[in-house]
Amino acid sequence: MTGPFTFGKKERLSHRADIERLFNEGRSFSLPPFRVFYIMGTNPDAAPVRILIAVPKKKYKRAVDRNKLKRMIREAYRLNKAFIAEPVKSQCLHVGFVYTAQGSIPDFTEIESKMKSCLEKLLLKYPGMDA
CB distance 38 to 28 below 8 Å: yes
Residue 110: phi, psi to the nearest 5? -65, -45
Confidence at residue 120, expressed as pLDDT on a 0 to 100 scale: 93
**What pLDDT score was predicted for residue 85?**
79
Per-residue pLDDT of the chain (131 residues; tens, 9 = 90+): 456 778 888 899 999 999 999 999 999 999 999 999 999 877 767 788 999 999 999 999 999 999 999 999 999 999 999 888 788 777 889 999 999 999 999 999 999 999 999 999 999 887 654 43
pTM of the model: 0.89
Q: For residues 127 and 44, what is the distance between their CA atoms, to the nearest angstrom?
A: 16
Strand order in the sheet with 34-40: 27-31, 34-40, 93-99, 49-54
CATH number of 29-124: 3.30.230.10
Domain range list for the chain:
29-124
